[in-house]
């Protein structure tokens, strides 16, 4: 697996703006030459493309995104969002029991309030990714440039200070990354991660139904999306079911850092 395949921060984070400006000039020309009956649908279509690219977690239109690992082996990448929480230590114990590894995508302000849990994740050999600073679930997709930069900058600084390592992976809140995400990802050498298997366990309380949905997405190289600290209180049960099912299907978990040393975290004191 090549470094370019696994860890791909945006190289041209403002390219979308030039493409969009060009598209609007084209729309203006259409409107001028052919009238509003053609120009208006063209205007709507160009805006809908940007909205679609923002709301679809796997879209690569605005920035690169990793949705699965390029492998034929029976391995998956377990990713756990929204922590740390009261569930963190029980989940770590479950992962230890199944000799499994996961990447925890942590929220900056939650990590700041539970530094021991963050350090325990690292001590037990798991990965750390970042998942914004305050987790503005309803509005992350619509944040303007300054607010978006603050969310990513503050989370990165917090997690680097707590762990001594700079996270290399980023997951947008609810997976939705608007055009202003890419610049901050490039600045911090962060690569965006989506998923290929999910159970909606952040909101759905039935672990068995969550497991059934995740199982439909299990395949070599799947990236599995899980959550901790859900309001329904059954996140640990869902993880237990996933790990047991993986064992039964002879899948093992793997971190991207184990597949390619180029994805390993960078010490916080070392310049990128």
Per-residue pLDDT of 148-159, as tens digits, reads 999 999 999 999
Burial class (CB in 10 A: 0-12, 13-18, 19+), 84: buried
d(CA 216, CA 214): 5
pLDDT, average across residues 39-60? 96
HSE-CB of 114 using CA atoms within 13 angstroms: 17
> How much is the pLDDT for 270?
62
* Kind plus residue range of the DSSP H or E element containing 266: strand 266-267
Percent of the chain exceeding pLDDT 70 equals 94
Q: Which CATH architecture has domain 65-267?
A: Alpha-Beta Barrel (3.20)
For residue 259, what pLDDT band results from cuts at 50, 70 and 90?
A: confident
> How much is the pLDDT for 1?
42
pLDDT at residue 26 tops 50 = yes
Domain ranges of the chain: 13-55, 65-267
> How much is the pLDDT for 253?
97
pLDDT, tens digit, 9 for 90 and up, residues 56-103: 999 999 999 999 999 999 999 999 999 999 999 999 999 999 999 999
d(CA 246, CA 98): 10
- Between these two residues, 266 and 252, which has the higher pLDDT value? 252
pLDDT at residue 132 tops 50 = yes
> How much is the pLDDT for 272?
54
Residue 66: strand pairing partners: 193
Residue 105: strand pairing partners: 81, 129
Angstrom distances, CA of residue 260 to CA of 1, 130, 195: 7, 20, 19
pLDDT at residue 262 tops 90 = no
For residue 271, what pLDDT band results from cuts at 50, 70 and 90?
A: low
Mean pLDDT of the chain: 94
d(CA 189, CA 30): 39
Angstrom distances, CA of residue 159 to CA of 15, 115, 133: 29, 9, 10
Which of 133-142, 208-217, 226-235, 256-265 comes out lowest in average pLDDT? 256-265
């Amino acid at each position: 697996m090549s470094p370019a395949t696994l860890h791909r921060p945006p190289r041209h984070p403002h390219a979308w703006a030039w493409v969009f400006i060009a598209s609007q000039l084209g729309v203006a020309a259409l409107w001028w030459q052919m009238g509003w009956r053609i120009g208006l649908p063209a205007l709507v279509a160009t805006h809908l493309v940007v909205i679609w690219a923002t709301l679809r977690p796997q879209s690569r239109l605005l920035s690169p995104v990793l949705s699965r690992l390029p492998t034929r082996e029976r391995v998956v990448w377990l990713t756990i969002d929204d922590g740390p929480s009261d569930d963190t230590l029980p989940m770590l114990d479950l992962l230890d029991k199944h000799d499994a590894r996961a990447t925890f995508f942590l929220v900056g302000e939650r990590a700041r309030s539970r530094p021991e849990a963050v350090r325990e994740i690292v001590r037990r050999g798991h990965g750390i990714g970042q998942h914004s600073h305050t987790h503005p679930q309803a509005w992350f997709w619509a944040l303007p440039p300054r607010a978006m930069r603050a969310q990513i900058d503050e989370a990165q600084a917090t997690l680097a200070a707590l762990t001594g390592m700079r996270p290399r992976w980023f997951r947008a809140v609810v997976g939705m990354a608007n055009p202003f995400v890419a610049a901050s990802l490039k600045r911090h050498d962060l690569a965006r991660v989506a998923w290929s298997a999910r159970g909606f366990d952040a909101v759905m309380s039935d672990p068995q139904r969550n497991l059934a949905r995740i199982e439909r997405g299990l395949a070599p190289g799947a990236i599995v999306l899980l959550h901790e600290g859900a309001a329904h209180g059954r996140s640990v049960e869902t993880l237990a079911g996933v790990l047991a099912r993986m064992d039964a299907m002879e899948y093992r978990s793997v971190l991207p850092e184990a597949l390619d040393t180029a994805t390993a975290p960078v010490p916080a004191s070392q310049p990128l």
